[in-house]
Amino acid sequence: MSLNINPVEAFDLVVFGITGDLAHRKILPALCHRFSIGQIPKETRIIGVARGEKSKEQFHAEMAEALDKHLPKGRCDDQCVKDFLDCFHYVKLDVLGEDGWQELKDLLNERPNPVRAFYLSVAPSLFAEISVRLGKSGIATEGSRIVLEKPFGHDLQSAKDLNARLKSCFDECQIYRIDHYLGKETVQNLMALRFANALFEPLWNSQHIDHVQITVAETLGIAGRGGYYDHAGAMRDMVQNHMMQVMCLIAMEPPARFDADSVRDEKLKVIKALDPLDIRNTVRGQYRAGNGGGSYREEAENPDSMTESAVALKAAISNWRWSGVPFYLRTGKRLRAHVSEIMIKFKEPPHNIFEQSRPAEGNALILRLQPGEGITLMMTIKEPGSGGMRFLRVPLDMSFAETLGGRTGVLGNAYERLIMDVIRGDQTLFMRGDEAEAAWAWVDPVIAAWQESGERPQPYDALGSGPEAALALMHRDGREWREIETEPDA
Ligand code: NAP
């Protein structure tokens, strides 16, 4: 199996916030890898923007240091990194001030034609200001693209305000709201699995599916990020964007075509078909101290914090396909393992012909987003040997790393794919403004109800399975969460 590399035309990418954490850890390594495999031509210009005064040499040294630290070893040799750094330019610019904009404009105008993209890797409070400046100054041309990091708004009203300001300068087809979960290979494979195979689609409904679980668990706490996180919480940080997007891809109807608006129309219909969340179907948690870390409240440096570091909820989609099929979502920090996965749990066989054995469990399709992206189908087989019909559950496992035989290095990470989509002008894997607003409209009332209740999120053990009440949420429906574990299956 060969993996195609389709080179793009040389482009100009302006990265606001080039000195920041996201630029260093994700954006630079992603670009460098695509450069090394020949997808990005050497005439491309990456124009870094930040407030500090830097000579060209100093800037290149900083970029080289960031790459040395964050580029997986063996990805690019020294010569390749050197050639890549030749693409870099720096403009000193405080986006809240007047200086530097003309210099940026002049630099871009040296080459009027290539694709021009602006990546806002800065605090969300600066998004509106930068986009208006870019639009009004003429730096953003008709074909320019603007890329925004999450969070896209803090609630429905702020998302609406931001959309309105963006749209005063950019057309929706120029706006790329990045959700890196959608760039993950498995998430895209979910669409391939459903719509490029005839096997699953006839089963993909309430007649055959018992329930769906989506889990995003992290082992790390919020130490060092408390300032941002304590104002957000798991609902805003994870559920409103990544998890709802994944839920939409699982639940959406087949789009007529695989293009941006057809896919996004179908995702939007799912969000609109969600029943309002009943607070009784939600659980909030905060991790305790232990296992070498402080408690949530200590790490947030807010002894009275009411912000949740974990959420579990049960959602219902009221349409013909999903009526009666619960979607259980859970996410949390300081949990047992760093794992993101989807489980589609099928119903049990309708009749047990093996009277002496326990009925076979329903099949489960597990899509692992991380670690080790891949797909597992849990099947029931006969336990080998004599002794009658005893059953064994076995995984039919497809790890992308194995299937692609060492070529996964070429696949790269989600940021690589998404940045290349921006350059190609493909918005399929980016959230549209109305989707972001609809997602806020669904989560806002729950966040408000939590605040009104005045109840503290339930404490849970560090590096455990999460709040007890999240387990109870499942148990009361006679179901269980899949174990949080790093191995594909056990
Ligand atoms: P960060 O480390 O604080 O970096 C912020 C960047 O913005 C710095 O390069 C800073 O440059 C620049 N900046 C700040 N004020 C500026 C101004 N007035 N004019 C020009 N540049 C200015 O933040 P980050 O973690 O990289 O996050 C960037 C964005 O990505 C945020 O929206 C965040 O929510 C989002 N995000 C981050 C992550 C992550 O893993 N880090 C994950 C998901 C989303 P100077 O100080 O050098 O001027």
Cα(322)–Cα(205) distance, integer angstroms:
6
Mean pLDDT of the chain: 93
Q: Which residues make Cβ contacts (< 8 Å) with residue 68, sequence separation at least 6? A: none
Establish whether residue 8 lines the binding site of ligand 1, counting it when its CB lies within 6 angstroms of any ligand atom.
no
Q: C-alpha dihedral over 185, 188, 193, 196, to 10 degrees?
A: -120
Helix (H) or strand (E) holding 314: strand 310-316
Q: Taking residues 79-86, what's their average pLDDT?
A: 95
pLDDT reading at 379 higher than 60: yes
Q: If you search the block for the tokens 């605040």, which residue do you land on?
A: 451
What is the best residue among 122, 220, 415 to mutate for testing ligand 1's pocket, by most ligand atoms within 8 Å of CB? 122
What is the whole-number distance in angstroms between the Cα of residue 149 and the centre of ligand 1?
10
Q: Is the CB of 19 under 6 A from ligand 1?
A: yes
Question: Of ligand 1's atoms, which has the minimum distance to the CA of residue 228?
Answer: 34
- Can you say which residues are annotated as belonging to the binding site for NADP(+)? 51, 94-95, 150
pLDDT band at 489 (very low <50, low <70, confident <90, very high): very low
- Confidence band for 400, pLDDT divided at 50, 70 and 90: confident
Identify which of 18, 22, 59 to mutate to test ligand 1's pocket (most ligand atoms within 8 A of the CB).
22
Residue with tokens 């400046």: 133
The pLDDT value recorded for residue 273 is: 98
Is residue 119 a contact partner of residue 134, using CB atoms and an 8 Å limit? no
Q: Do the strands 45-50 and 88-92 form a parallel or antiparallel pair, or are they unpaired?
A: parallel
Q: Is the CB of 22 inside a 6 Å radius of any atom of ligand 1?
A: yes
The answer, yes or no, to whether any atom of ligand 1 lies below 6 A from the CB of 100, is no
Distance CA 338, CA 349 (A): 33
pLDDT value of residue 352: 87
* In 300-413, alpha helices (H): 400-403, 408-411
Q: Count of CB atoms within 10 A of residue 445's CB?
A: 13
Q: Does 123 contact ligand 1 (Cβ within 6 A)?
A: yes
Query: What's the rounded mean pLDDT across residues 16-20?
Result: 97
Q: How far is the CA of 197 from the centre of ligand 1 (A)?
A: 41
Measure 25 CA to ligand 1 centroid, in angstroms: 12
d(CA 52, CA 350): 67
Among protein residues, the one with the nearest Cα to ligand 1's atom 3 is 20
Res 342 pLDDT > 90: yes
**Is 358's pLDDT higher than 80?**
no
CA of 278 to the centre of ligand 1 (A): 36
Q: Which residues contact residue 252 at a Cβ distance below 8 angstroms, ignoring those fewer than 6 apart?
A: 263, 266, 267, 269, 270
Q: Considering only CA atoms, which of 187, 186, 204, 140 is closest in space to residue 167?
A: 140
Run of H or E residues at 176: strand 175-177
State mean pLDDT over 453-471: 97
DSSP class per residue in 187-224: HHHHHHHHHS-SSSGGG-STTTEEEEEEEEE-S---TT
Atom of ligand 1 nearest to the CA of 96: 18
Ligand 1 atom nearest the C-alpha of 151 is 34
Which residues partner with 213 through β-bridges? 328, 343
Nearest CA to ligand 1 atom 9: 17
Whose tokens are 């996965």? That residue is 341
Distance CA 53, CA 49 (A): 11
Q: Active-site residue 242, yes or no?
A: yes
Is 223 close to ligand 1, i.e. is its CB under 6 Å away?
A: no
Q: For residue 55, how many other CB atoms are within 10 A of its CB?
A: 9
Candidates 24, 89, 211, 242; catalytic one:
242
Minimal-distance CA residue to ligand 1 atom 32? 123
pLDDT at 18 over 90: yes
Distance, CA 124 to ligand 1 centroid (Å)?
9
Q: What is the pLDDT of residue 490?
A: 36
414-450 confidence digits (pLDDT tens): 999 999 999 999 999 999 999 999 999 999 999 999 9
Helices in 255-398 by DSSP H: which ranges? 260-273, 296-299
Check if 50 has its Cβ closer than 6 Å to any atom of ligand 1: yes
Place of tokens 């912000």: 307
Helices 156-167 and 433-453 pack at an angle, to 10 degrees, of 150
The domains located in the chain, with CATH, are 11-149 (3.40.50.720), 182-475 (3.30.360.10)
- The predicted-structure confidence for 182-229, as pLDDT tens digits, reads as follows 998 888 889 999 999 999 999 999 999 999 999 999 999 998 888 889
Question: Taking the model in full, what pTM does it have?
Answer: 0.94
Q: How many CB atoms lie within 10 A of CB 129?
A: 14
Asked if residues 395 and 378 have their Cβ atoms less than 8 Å apart, the reply is yes
Atom 41 (ligand 1) nearest CA: 22
Atom 6 (ligand 1) nearest CA = 17
Distance 266 CA to ligand 1 centre (A): 32
> What distance in angstroms lies between residue 126's CA and the mean position of ligand 1's atoms?
10
Two tokens, residue 152: 């896209």
Three-state secondary structure call for residue 170: coil
Judged against a pLDDT cut of 60, whether residue 406 lies above it is answered with no
Q: What is the pLDDT of residues 87-121, one digit of tens each?
A: 999 999 999 999 999 999 999 999 877 899 999 99
Q: Which residues are annotated as a binding site for substrate?
A: 180, 184, 218, 237, 333
The answer, yes or no, to whether any atom of ligand 1 lies below 6 A from the CB of 480, is no
Cβ–ligand 1 contact at 241 (below 6 Å): no
The predicted-structure confidence for 146-192, as pLDDT tens digits, reads as follows 999 889 999 999 999 999 999 999 999 999 999 999 998 888 889 99
